[in-house]
Amino acid sequence: MNEEHLLPIEKSRLGIIGGSGFYSIQTINCLKEIEIDTPYGKPSDSIKIFKVGNLELAFIARHGKNHQFNPTEVPYKANIWALRSIGVRWIIAPSAVGSLQEQIRPLDIVIPDQFIDRTNNRPASFFNEGIVAHVNMGDPFCTNLSRILHEVGEKYIPSGRQIHKGGTYLAMEGPAFSTRAESNLYRKWGCSIIGMTNHTEARLAKEAEIAYSSLSMVTDYDCWNQTQEEVSVEMVLNNLKINTEVANKIVYETAKEIDILRPKSSSHKALEIGLMTPKNKAPFNTLSKVKIFTDSYWS
């Protein structure tokens, strides 16, 4: 294994995890594709490398280029491990979501700042099998990265649409959409949007000491809103197609800002006070899997 995971922030890469309908970066040419094997199996797709200024972007399709992985089946650990192994220290995650609030309309974009997790069959942590770590998830999204993403988004979102700063993302298991009773319950909880993937990525990214932020693209009102057309795959795909162009522009312009700012994040030191198991008590096989995260503490 190379040592790219130890790259300093000024040389690190920006990761893009593309969701439904967002299978590549359309505004710039791909320089190369990388196939990576990880201790957690193969990632969902090859990683495509792009460049904006002096910043390299590492893009992976969350569900695979042919959308063959449902939200439960996405190889989350492999994806995050692979990105960190090539020096990714920031991740922007475009994804499709449904709206749980009237004022958040289809084709709006939300930069959420909180989660409620309702998944039940997901990899919760890299740290198990004899090594324990507890990271702080009070702020699951990187506040610095989210601020930059929102500021850029406000400049480039088309007239008549809104970009919402903050909000709670309800993460459900899927792949079926929610029942109306569930949808109304989540509204009572104060949730803003509903999706199926970002929480799992954000939790693992924090353990991998990667700053993570979501570009949540609203495709529809969730089923609580009975005055609107019932949510369907066709509706989601049509709105995703409309959203893809603006999402690509926001990602590209945000990458230009990150190239200049190279923002630091509390996520970059998430394990500093989180590692509990002494290195000399760590099982070798487990240590070999997580050493790319722990090298700076257990050198």
Kindly state the average pLDDT of the residues 206-222.
95
Q: Let me know if 295 is a catalytic residue.
A: no
Q: Give the number of domains in the chain.
A: 1
Contacts of 173 (CB under 8 A, 6+ apart): 71, 72, 118, 119, 120, 121, 122, 196
Contacts of 68 (CB under 8 A, 6+ apart): none
Share of the chain above pLDDT 70, in %: 96
pLDDT for position 229: 63
The answer as to whether 85 is a domain residue is yes
The answer as to whether 133 is a domain residue is yes
CA distances from 153 to 148, 157, 164, 226 (A): 8, 6, 9, 30
Query: pLDDT per residue over 124-134, tens digit each?
Result: 899 999 999 99
Q: Which residue among 45, 108, 117, 220 is the active-site one?
A: 220
Query: pLDDT per residue over 215-253, tens digit each?
Result: 999 988 999 998 766 656 676 677 777 888 888 999 999
Phi then psi for 142, rounded to 5 degrees?
Answer: -70, 120
pLDDT for position 1: 57
pLDDT for position 241: 77
* DSSP H or E segment with residue 211: strand 211-221
Kindly state the average pLDDT of the residues 8-31.
87
pLDDT at 188 over 60: yes
Q: Let me know if 117 is a catalytic residue.
A: no
Kindly state the average pLDDT of the residues 75-90.
98
265 falls in which pLDDT band (50, 70, 90)?
very high
How many helices, marked H, and strands, marked E, lie in the chain? Answer: 6, 11
> What range does the domain containing 191 cover?
4-294
CATH number of the domain that 237 lies in? Answer: 3.40.50.1580
Q: Which residue among 139, 222, 259, 295 is the active-site one?
A: 222
The answer as to whether 202 is a domain residue is yes
- Tokens of residue 16, six digits: 């893009």
**CA pair distance 70, 173, nearest whole angstrom:** 10
Are 102 and 28 in contact by the 8 Å Cβ rule? The answer is no
Are 17 and 69 in contact by the 8 Å Cβ rule? The answer is no
The answer as to whether 299 is a domain residue is no
Q: In this structure, which amino acid lies at residue 291?
A: K
pLDDT for position 27: 75
The answer as to whether 48 is a domain residue is yes
